[in-house]
Amino acid sequence: MFFPMSYIIFIFTLILGSIISISSSSWFGAWVGLELNMMSFIPLISLKMNSYYSEAALKYFLIQALGSAMFISSGFLSLLFLFISYIFIFLALLLKLASAPFHFWFPQVMEGLNWPQVFLLSTIQKLAPMILLSYLMINIILIKMIIFFSILSAIVGALGGLNLLYLRKIIAFSSINHMSWMMIAISTGDIFWLFYFIIYSLILLSITSMFYNLQTFTLSNLMQSDQNSILHSILISFNFLSLGGLPPFTGFIPKWMLIQMMVNMNLYIPLFFLLLSALITLYFYLRIIIMFILLLNPIMNFNMKYKSLTSNTSLLLKTSFNFIGLLMPIYFLLI
């Protein structure tokens, strides 16, 4: 169990806050939902009396409080200056989403979290702000702004993840990069971004649960893990390739659909930056995978443990989602 049973109430209020935000008919109601969501997540961060967790909780609280203050004041401003208030609400939501150029807090907060909290912060915590962002896509200037910020997020997410040794920071910059793809999908006015979000969440769930089981936080930890086996290394490699969107893994399917959509809408310049950033992110995933490939060499596999496949059935189940993309061509051949 990722969280103690006594913390189930906080998970419930966390999801309830997102639902209140999404279903609200006013900006004030959306703000109440976001506040409930934030105040439920902070106890989940500081599960243990640890200085790292406390620092991450404090950083998260200060940034989210700033975003919430900006959000509610902009909501009241909409009574007088509607368009200006929409711009400020838009910027407040970008701060909450950790989209570039407001991404500075995200890797630092992620560095102080455990893997279950990393998953929550990268997925469920971003759901409500993204849906509120999609409500703003009624003005051509805001649509152009979100395309510009998505290009910026793609570049920052790609370049920020280079030469990092900490897995949580790599996942943080990867999340910023994936955010750019979802923001482009939001700008097209299509509900397709939700499909991308669900696929991304499931891939990230398999990665974070695997790292949680291994209790690894750096690349050296990952290499020296006592539970390392050939199957582990292959599955972790496939997970990262799927997260990078390499065909034929599952992570490629939403990117493929979004590329087709962007070509149809003549969004060639944003598409160029997004594809370039996807190549760079794939490079820093390959840095992790190459180490596993080297350790598969019999001369160098001093730390690998040979285990039966039956002991890793739970691991196979967690990562099986990434192989749906491998089965898709067979499905189309049968049709």
Q: What's residue 297's pLDDT?
A: 58
Out of 54-68, 199-213, 278-292, 317-331, pick the least confident. 317-331
Q: What's residue 60's pLDDT?
A: 95
Out of 159-173, 229-243, 261-275, 309-323, pick the least confident. 309-323
Q: What's residue 131's pLDDT?
A: 94
Helix axes 230-244, 268-295, angle to 10 degrees: 170
Out of 114-123, 218-227, 262-271, pick the least confident. 218-227
One-character DSSP codes across 164-206: --BHHHHHHHHHHHHHHHHHHHHHTT-THHHHHHHHHHHHHHH
Q: What's residue 278's pLDDT?
A: 93
Mean pLDDT over 184-210 rounds to 90
**pLDDT for 332 beyond 60:** no
| Domain locations in the chain as residue ranges | 5-334
201 with 237: CB under 8 angstroms? no
- Give the H or E element holding residue 91: helix 82-97
Out of 64-78, 120-134, 203-217, 221-235, pick the least confident. 221-235
Long-range contacts (CB closer than 8 Å, 24 or more residues apart) made by 33-38: 33/128, 34/68, 34/71, 34/96, 34/128, 34/129, 35/68, 37/13, 37/125, 37/128, 38/64, 38/65, 38/68
**First-to-final CA distance of the chain:** 41
Band (308; pLDDT cuts 50, 70, 90)? very low
**pLDDT for 309 beyond 50:** no
**pLDDT for 299 beyond 70:** no
Q: What's residue 310's pLDDT?
A: 45
210 with 318: CB under 8 angstroms? yes
Band (306; pLDDT cuts 50, 70, 90)? very low
**pLDDT for 51 beyond 90:** no
Cβ atoms within 10 Å, residue 215:
12
Query: Which of 284, 179, 285 is CA-nearest to residue 237?
Result: 285
Band (296; pLDDT cuts 50, 70, 90)? low
Task: Return the SS3 of 335.
Answer: coil
74 with 88: CB under 8 angstroms? yes
Mean pLDDT over 60-69 rounds to 95
Q: What's residue 326's pLDDT?
A: 67
**pLDDT for 154 beyond 70:** yes
**pLDDT for 232 beyond 70:** yes
Mean pLDDT over 62-91 rounds to 91
Q: What's residue 195's pLDDT?
A: 92
* Mean pLDDT over each residue of the chain, to the nearest integer: 86
**pLDDT for 305 beyond 70:** no
Band (76; pLDDT cuts 50, 70, 90)? confident
- Quote the pTM value: 0.91
